Structure 1
Amino acid sequence: MKWSEICNRYPSHFVLVEALKAVSSNRVRTIEEMTVVESYDNPLQAWEGYKRHHKENLEREFYVFHTSKQEIEVIEEYFSGVYRA
């Protein structure tokens, strides 16, 4: 789905999406195709859903957005520290 389709289908919701097709350029990740994994009314529930899905599927690319946004933008940040499991 495209972002505009998601906004029309889930107005005024937080959505957990999985990027199916995405490209990076100048530290900006552009999601060209995505699918809705879950939708939420509450941002805390959305982040809990994100953490649960991310923990179970580390290789998949998940994001949480609110459908009131006309456009979505993901700025890539690089982690350069120690990670503890």
Structure 2
Amino acid sequence: MKWSNVRDIYPNRWVLVEALATHSNNHRRIIEEMSVVSEYDDPKDAWASYKKLHLSEPTRELYIFYTGNEYIEVIEQPFTGIRGLR
């Protein structure tokens, strides 16, 4: 599903989506196709679901967006933190 379709189906809602077809361009993640996992009134509920789902299935590419936004933008940032020592 395209973002414009998601906006039409779920107006002014928070949506948890899974990216199905993506590519990167100039440090931006372009989501060509997505699937709506769930919809929410409250962004806190969306984040709680995201955390639970990401913990159980970390390989899925999940995002939370507000459908009141005409466009979505995902900026890729390299990980610069410190990893635990073994």
Q: After TM superposition, is the score higher than 0.5?
A: yes
> What does 1:14-33 correspond to in 2, within 5 Å?
14-33=14-33
> Which AA in structure 2 matches 1:72?
I
Q: Are 2:69 and 1:72 equivalent residues in the alignment?
A: no
Q: When the two structures are superposed, what TM-score results if normalisation uses the length of structure 1?
A: 0.94
> Which AA in structure 1 matches 2:19?
A
Q: State which structure, 1 or 2, has the greater radius of gyration over its C-alpha atoms.
A: 2
2:59 aligned counterpart, secondary structure: coil
Q: Please report the RMSD computed on the Cα atoms of aligned residues, expressed in angstroms.
A: 1.0
> Which AA in structure 1 matches 2:78?
Y
Paired residue total:
84
> Which AA in structure 2 matches 1:75?
I
- Structure 1, unaligned stretches of length 5 or more? none
In the TM superposition, residue 83 of structure 1 has moved relative to its aligned partner by 4.3
1:69 aligned counterpart, secondary structure: coil
CA distance in 1, matches of 2:25, 2:4: 22
Q: Are 2:82 and 1:82 equivalent residues in the alignment?
A: yes
In the TM superposition, residue 78 of structure 1 has moved relative to its aligned partner by 1.4
Q: When the two structures are superposed, what TM-score results if normalisation uses the length of structure 2?
A: 0.93
| Runs of at least 4 residues off by over 2 Å | none
- Structure 2, unaligned stretches of length 5 or more? none
